[in-house]
Structure 1
Amino acid sequence: MIQWIEYDDVWLSVKGSARTTVNKNASGEYPSDRWKNQILLAEHSPIRKIKFSWKWTNLKSWVSVHFVRHWLGILHYVSTQRTDRTGVNRDNSTQDTPVTHECEANAQALINISRKRLCNQASPETREAWLEVKTGVKEADPVLASVMVRECIYRGFCPEMKSCGYVNTEAYKKELEEYRKVR
């Protein structure tokens, strides 16, 4: 289960910072979806101003560990399993012991994590948890969600040592074409 904590629409600020990087003054005009799509695909630094916060509850500990591996542009707050804090002997806890895992991530981190955790090589449980995040992002910012794609879509080929075969399907070709389309 996922709970959304916060999302601030900072696109005007992102556009202002982007204009600063090319020696222009802020325009005060809200950016179009096309402009948002272009800066997200280019992954220019101002997109790091966009932040989302959420909390998973009852996330399996081993799934939480998959997400904690990501560190750039994301903060993690995971409930402890320390015996002195919980009163439960942690040596008796299994890997599927539920934890609460709260995160705050910028747009770049959301893109990066999607590449790994939406891949068919990721565990189904991890993929499902990340799809919950992407669904929440899509409700608040559909343009950002549209660039949160698996690695093979992002790169245009599968870099895995053992491919799942998705790159050989019509669905892959269609998804890749949609991703590359500047809206």
Structure 2
Amino acid sequence: MAVKSSEADGTDYSGEMRFAAHSGYLITGYSFSASFAGTLDAAVPPGGLAGAGTASNRGSVSLFASGADNWSRNGNRQVKLLKGNDAFVFSAGNIMLAQMSMSLNGSMTVFATPASWTTPDGVVHRQDSLAGLTLLNPTLTVYTSAVPEPETYAMLALGLAVIGLTRRRRQGRAAQA
């Protein structure tokens, strides 16, 4: 978003997301990454004349994630007067949740005023200033992992029991020989 002259604009964004893992899976982590890209170009009159323009920007992104047993994580990134890029990542790992909720909120405001000056011959001049702020490449990844079903554990226990019985029989036969 770019704003020229004396216009100003502020924009707020928000979203609520809920995730539920398929049966046999758990949510084990998440990662949200993005970059702010800011532009500031305040116009300046030539030759040091008075009447310079202004340019400003500010923005924020916050993410709140929550799940069972009062588990929660917060992430917040704010920028102000950004000229260039500012990359950030919010993440959490080593969690085991069947369901998770996320709230993602963002706001951006840019403001610019033109430079205005009068030359010695009485001519009034005006040059626009520029302010911009963008959120680039927002990417949300939710990590999941398979959780063995109870039948899998039962089969594992049965297999270990068969191996143990086979080993015991072989040791008994070896001792008789």
TM norm. shorter chain > 0.5: no
Which category of TM-score, normalised to the shorter sequence, fits these structures?
Answer: under 0.3
Normalised by the size of structure 2, how large is the TM-score?
0.26
Which structure has the highest strand share of the two?
Answer: 2
Which structure has the highest helix share of the two?
Answer: 1
Normalised by the size of structure 1, how large is the TM-score?
0.25
